[in-house]
Structure formats: structure tokens, C-alpha cells
Amino acid sequence: MKALTFKRYGKAPEIGLTDIPRPALKPDELMVQVYAAAVNPIDNMIPTGAFKPVLHFKLPATLGSDLAGVVTAVGDRVTRFKPGDAVFASIFDLGTGSIAEFAVVPESAAALKPANLDFVQAASIPMVGLTAWQALKERLNLRPGQKVFIPAGSGGIGSFAIQLAKHLGARVGTTTSTGNIPLVSSLGADEVIDYKQQEFEKVLRDYDAVLGTVRGDAIEKSIGILKPGSKIISIVGPLDVAFARTKRLNFVLRFVFGLMSRKIMRLAKKRDVSYSFLFVRPDGAQLAEISKLIEAERIKPVIDKVFPFDKAKDALEYLAKGRAKGKVVITMKP
């Protein structure tokens, strides 16, 4: 089968479509013919080796985490799915990839595709949906009336997280460029900062939570907009010791991550604010809950551009430019 792979870590990873064997099916897995797969910023970071200590691949490795497709076979322990079912899933951090003609998906990671979405729309959901769910519901326990800052509101994670936060009853602040203000406002953002005209830390006040989605010093600046006792959940780092413990990493990596997060931890402590890093995990049960919200039209997918499978590498290059409004998706079947 064909898959989008990288052959080595570093500056010349040799990303491209390759013929590889179809993956073997384990007893608790589904074999899925992939109809569509979305790309995420981490797909451009993995080949550089940035996550080599915590994400383990056998090279050449297939890229991608999000997928939507049709089950073609099931392992003998699978009870919730059957051949012919239309499903969607994230297989992030499972040592395999989704940008391929076929993918194996653990039963625990899959959910039935939302009935009101096509495969391209469904493929755009898993990674951003699970990230927003695990950050806003699990970590932050966001409640009605609270204020959450979600920067880069027109991006893949931002466009989903704004909608979920509004569903949870929160008020949302975000940043975007001038041309994207109508989009983020339509998604429910209450306070919109044009980052080309204003600095968010000089405008926003008394927030209860921050979902860190932007690299650089944005997370440090966001401390100033928070009330005492508030929380910052970051999906872009710095990685922290708690994450290292969760991944059962060795002492050296725990020490390194402690150094990486030392500054943000110190700044947060001064303001009586907590900081933690979130590494999203696959979860079919959570995807099923997200599917209910989508079918009830409480949340809608936001898709910027769709690439054919033979242009999969172009999709990664387009995403790397950082201008996508919503998700970028690759389609394997019409």
C-alpha cells in the first residue's frame, strides 16, 4: 500500500509517498481503509527529531494521526465495530500513522463517524477535538461564566476549542489577524484581539484559564491576564516533569524537562497560577461524545484546504506556512 513516510530524522528526512506492507491486524484492532486524513503541526515536527525522546517510530515511519474511513476487518477481540462501519479516530502516539491507504486502529481509539459529516470533515476532527476536550473538560473543568483565553482562534485547534468552550458556557478571548475576525466571531469568540493592531496582554483581564496554542513568549505573557488560582494548559510546551512522569521517562529526561519548564513555573508561581503541558491521547469514548455535539450541530468542522493523496507532502508544506484557517485534510478516496 502507499503511505506518506519519512525515512530519517533531521534536516533531510526524505518525506514522500512510499510503498510499504499493509500493517498486521492485532486482536483488539480494526483495519480501516482510510478515506481521508488530516495533518497537524506536529506532523512537521516529528521528522525533525523534536519529539524523538517521547514518540517512538520504526523507520521508515508513516506520518499522520487523524483519519476517517471504513472498517474492512476486525480482530477477534473486537466487539463494538464490524466491517463496513464508517469510523474516525486519532492514532497519535501509537507508533503508526494515518496518511496511508490502510491503517490499524485500536478499538478503544475509534468511534463511529458523525452521521452528518462526510469523510473529509470527519477526518478534520479527532486530534483537535480530543485536545480541546482533554484540556477544557478534563484539565480545566471549565464551568459556565468562566473566561478562557484561546489564542490563534482561526487555526485548527483554536477553531474547535472556541466552539467547545462556548458549549461549556464559558466566555472566550482569542487572537487572530484582521481578515479572520469574522470567522472567530462566528465561532463564538467574545473578545477578539487583532494581534497586528494590539497586544493581548495589554487588553485582556481577569481570565480563569489559558489554552496555550502559540509558541514563543505568548504563554509567559498570558500569565498577566489571569486571576490568582487560574490554570494554564499548554499543548506547545515547554514540556514539564509531570509529563515526563506520565510517560515514564528516565531521570535524565525528567531533569531536562524540569529545566525547560523552570521559567514558566517560576513566573506562574509568582501569580499563584498553575502550569501544565498536555500531550493528547487517543480516546474513542471521548470522540463518541464529540460526535454527539457535532450531530446536534453544536460544533462544526472548519476546513481550510483539501489535498489529493498524491499531493500529501504539499499539504504538510502548506500547513507549515502557518496561515491555515481551520484544518488541512488529505483525501484518499473521492
SS3 per-residue string spanning 90-133: ECCCCCCCCCECEEEEEHHHEEECCCCCCHHHHHCCHHHHHHHH
Q: Which three cell numbers stand for residue 57?
A: 517510530
The CATH topology of domain 128-277 is Rossmann fold (3.40.50)
pTM of structure:
0.95
What would the pLDDT profile of 197-212 be if each residue is shown by its tens digit?
999 999 999 999 999 9
SS3 16: strand
Instruction: Tell me which CATH code domain 2-125+301-331 carries.
Output: 3.90.180.10
Q: CA 171 to CA 166: how far, in whole Å?
A: 7
Residues of the chain with CATH 3.90.180.10: 2-125+301-331
Mean pLDDT of 13-30: 96
75-107 pLDDT, tens digit per residue, is 999 999 999 999 999 999 999 999 999 999 999
Residues of the chain with CATH 3.40.50.720: 128-277
CA distances from 87 to 82, 156, 259, 282, 287 (A): 10, 21, 41, 14, 10
The pLDDT assigned to 142 comes to 96
**Confidence category of residue 334, pLDDT binned at 50, 70, 90:** low
Task: Supply the pLDDT for residue 216.
Answer: 80
Is it the case that residue 148 has pLDDT exceeding 90?
A: yes
CB 35 within 8 A of CB 332: yes
| Rounded Cα gap, residues 175 and 184, in angstroms | 9
How confident is the model over 33-51, as a mean pLDDT?
A: 95
pLDDT of residue 50: 85
Is the CB of residue 53 less than 8 Å from the CB of residue 102? no
pLDDT in tens, 216-273: 888 999 999 999 999 999 999 888 898 888 888 888 888 988 998 899 989 999 999 9
For 267, the enclosing helix (H) or strand (E) is helix 262-270
Q: What's the mean pLDDT when you consider all of the chain?
A: 95
Closest C-alpha to 34, from 161, 122, 114: 122
Reported as type and span, the H/E element at residue 230 is strand 226-234
Please tell me the predicted confidence (pLDDT) of residue 82: 98
